[in-house]
Amino acid sequence: MNATTDTPITVRRLGADEAAASAEALAEVLIDCVQGGASVSFMDPLPRDKALAFWRGVADGVARNERVLLVAEDAVEGIVGTVQLITAMPDNQPHRADVAKMLVHRKARRRGVAQRLMAAVDDAARSAGKRVLVLDTVTGGDAERLYERAGWQRVGVVPDYALMPDGALCSTTYFYRHL
């Protein structure tokens, strides 16, 4: 990837078929983020077949209307970022959704991609009738600062919640947002 800072970024929602067809490009973004140290449920090295299986499962969830998949695209590089809105909630939480797997390829960072994805996830949540959003992120990381700047409310920190891709323990901070 060699994204340039002057190439426009577009954000859009993928349907199930397009999500499945985009598994390779999405796997590339996920693998890059894990290699870069992002704690997003996977360990480094992340085998391509495992990354592909993950994205095929996401596409299946899109097909079942359990999640919304948004991508950020560079006209030259293709998919450079993604975020999901998990809309399948228990019966007593029809008004709520989880935000998951906010990923931006390292070469596309510092271009406003994450902010655009988060604005799009808010819009998707509103369209789905969701009023309360919840997410978690590594404590002290860049994403934590992004969410705070975007007006998300910090709930608290769970120490030693997960592992970083290199195996080190990390704390996780939970956030919520009312739309």
CATH of the domain at 133: 3.40.630.30
Q: Which of 93, 63, 98 is nearest to 83 (CA)?
A: 98
Residue 73 has pLDDT above 70, yes or no: yes
DSSP reduced 3-state for 178: strand
Model confidence at 120, pLDDT cuts 50, 70, 90, reads very high
DSSP 20-67: HHTHHHHHHHHHHHHHTT--SS-PSS--HHHHHHHHHHHHHHHHTTSE
The total number of structural domains in the chain stands at: 1
Segment 80-113, tens digit of pLDDT: 999 999 999 999 999 999 999 999 999 999 999 9
Range of the domain at 171: 9-178
pTM score: 0.95
Is residue 145, in this structure, part of any structural domain at all?
yes
Is residue 90, in this structure, part of any structural domain at all?
yes
